[in-house]
Structure 1
């Protein structure tokens, strides 16, 4: 029985000296993050394909059971819209190869303009994509949510997961901080979806900068994730807030709440102790 939890990134300036060493190399920060959380969203891979040597340093810091959910580069999903994708996708998969099984899922985040009329394009992509990978698809066109059956059938045929981005808690009341006001203009207003297709569901949840509001909003996910675990599924849940200042701690708090409902779930390991700083902490 396994539940994995993680954040949208593994390093943030406000985490230094609290969750991560300060000062520290990028590799040391990743190693410390991986002692707090057991998964991470690979959002940076959306913007650029990392060098293979960089990924080798990631792999050296991550335990074998860690889950890296890697976002397919935007050149494939947004610029080429899943057409003529072989060269950039091949370069991306070659770069990720050092992660091995820690590449838990390849995450296809589609633009809001990619709607049900484009389903055949998605189907051709999944048929032609290399074997041996798990695929997750995040859609943002509202018509997929009002009539989900066709997309669900297609994903089921490829054993691919529908990755929901739950922003309902965030948009339930007006923003109250600068980070929330910024996110209010950028984050998509997505309908709630709690249905899993595969044995490996992935959830992206956006809360508020107020931790208690975030916790109140995820109670439905505690119930859903507990049910998935009892069904034999191995979910991964990513906790976001607009400023992400407390995200690693919130991930563990979510895990503990699920474990309170499902006592057979093993506790998370204790985070690595932080070394004493050499001097006063700064954010820079």
Structure 2
């Protein structure tokens, strides 16, 4: 994942912004006496991207991956909408409690730019609902050049999206965040439609750390910079998430990438250990693979 990559991560201020009061107000509004749901994973499960993660002799990567993590940010569906048969195959390979978070196809977001996409949306939804209880939340990621001038198009799309299907949105153009009026209109739309606002933590785009939740769900896409600071950044996230949990956060979806995918499982294991210690959760920590002793120690 190259979005937000910078030549020298050491010059970036990775501090996490203060959470706006409106986010705490929203969480308090939805606060309930129930355990927070927690899902942590990577973006892909293939061996090419997760180097050093799979023990020697693993024949099915998804089966092994889903035994170590309880979620996957399913980026494969961005390039091709899955068939119902593919979804059912993926679902059958994973254990109870596992969740898929498929990305809407680029034919909807990038090529179609939300216009005349009803049939494509229907095909995607009809296929991915077959994940049934293993469907976490799909997410719509817009192109960097999709700007607020097309707000009405986004508004029509979200209001017309199938009701009851869980959806998150990631907008990337800086104009969505630089103008307070534009931002407020966006967040109001997401609250009205029940769409979760995606947070992106990446080196070159700190404006996407808006810390503005629109549902009692935190959907965080964390991009490591292949730099020692990656670990401290994750520890800082745990401190913020602890506050959100106390305020009433109901669900956390946290996906870990790197600009060059080398140690995403290692970073995830570090993050999960800290979550379990600080939040009192009991999420499985990925085990050390046989082929690379010390990787997860």
Q: TM-score, normalised by structure 1?
A: 0.81
Instruction: Tell me how far apart the structure 1 counterparts of residues 49 and 125 of structure 2 sit (CA, whole Å).
Output: 32
Q: How far did residue 223 of structure 1 move? A: 1.6
Query: What are the superposed Cα offsets for residues 187-211 of structure 1, whole Å, 9 maximum, x if unpaired?
Result: x67542222221221001111223x
Residue of structure 1 in register with 2:192 after alignment = 157
* Aligned-partner SS, 2:88: helix
Q: How far did residue 21 of structure 1 move? A: 4.4
Residue of structure 1 in register with 2:38 after alignment = 3
Residue of structure 1 in register with 2:209 after alignment = 192
Q: Within the alignment, does 1:233 sit opposite 2:268 as a pair?
A: no
Q: How far did residue 12 of structure 1 move? A: 2.6
Residue of structure 1 in register with 2:143 after alignment = 111
* Aligned-partner SS, 2:136: strand
Residue of structure 1 in register with 2:218 after alignment = 201
Q: How far did residue 272 of structure 1 move? A: 9.7
Residue of structure 2 in register with 1:217 after alignment = 233
Looking at both structures, which has the greater relative contact order when contacts are Cα pairs under 8 Å and sequence separation is at least 6? 2
* Aligned-partner SS, 1:164: strand
* Aligned-partner SS, 2:251: coil
Residue of structure 2 in register with 1:175 after alignment = none
Matched-pair contact (CA < 8 Å) for 1:5–1:238: yes
Instruction: Tell me how far apart the structure 2 counterparts of residues 70 and 197 of structure 1 sit (CA, whole Å).
Output: 20
Instruction: Tell me how far apart the structure 2 counterparts of residues 51 and 85 of structure 1 sit (CA, whole Å).
Output: 17
Provide closer, same or farther for how the CA distance between residues 105 and 233 of structure 1 changes in structure 2, counting only shifts above 3 A. same
2:88 to 38, 47, 56: 56
1:35 to 64, 67, 74: 67
Matched-pair contact (CA < 8 Å) for 1:21–1:32: no
Instruction: Tell me how far apart the structure 2 counterparts of residues 240 and 270 of structure 1 sit (CA, whole Å).
Output: 16
Q: How far did residue 273 of structure 1 move? A: 7.6
Matched-pair contact (CA < 8 Å) for 1:207–1:239: yes
* Aligned-partner SS, 1:130: coil
Instruction: Tell me how far apart the structure 2 counterparts of residues 242 and 81 of structure 1 sit (CA, whole Å).
Output: 26
Residue of structure 2 in register with 1:120 after alignment = 152
Q: How far did residue 128 of structure 1 move? A: 1.3
Q: Within the alignment, does 1:257 sit opposite 2:263 as a pair?
A: no
* Aligned-partner SS, 1:41: strand
Q: Please report the RMSD computed on the Cα atoms of aligned residues, expressed in angstroms.
A: 2.2
Q: How far did residue 250 of structure 1 move? A: 1.4
Q: Within the alignment, does 1:242 sit opposite 2:255 as a pair?
A: no
Matched-pair contact (CA < 8 Å) for 2:202–2:225: no
Provide closer, same or farther for how the CA distance between residues 66 and 89 of structure 1 changes in structure 2, counting only shifts above 3 A. same
Matched-pair contact (CA < 8 Å) for 2:272–2:285: no
Q: How far did residue 271 of structure 1 move? A: 4.7
Aligned residues: 252
Q: TM-score, normalised by structure 2?
A: 0.78
Q: Within the alignment, does 1:85 sit opposite 2:101 as a pair?
A: no
Provide closer, same or farther for how the CA distance between residues 223 and 110 of structure 1 changes in structure 2, counting only shifts above 3 A. same
Instruction: Tell me how far apart the structure 1 counterparts of residues 104 and 213 of structure 2 sit (CA, whole Å).
Output: 21
Q: How far did residue 149 of structure 1 move? A: 0.9
* Aligned-partner SS, 1:267: coil
Provide closer, same or farther for how the CA distance between residues 50 and 272 of structure 1 changes in structure 2, counting only shifts above 3 A. farther
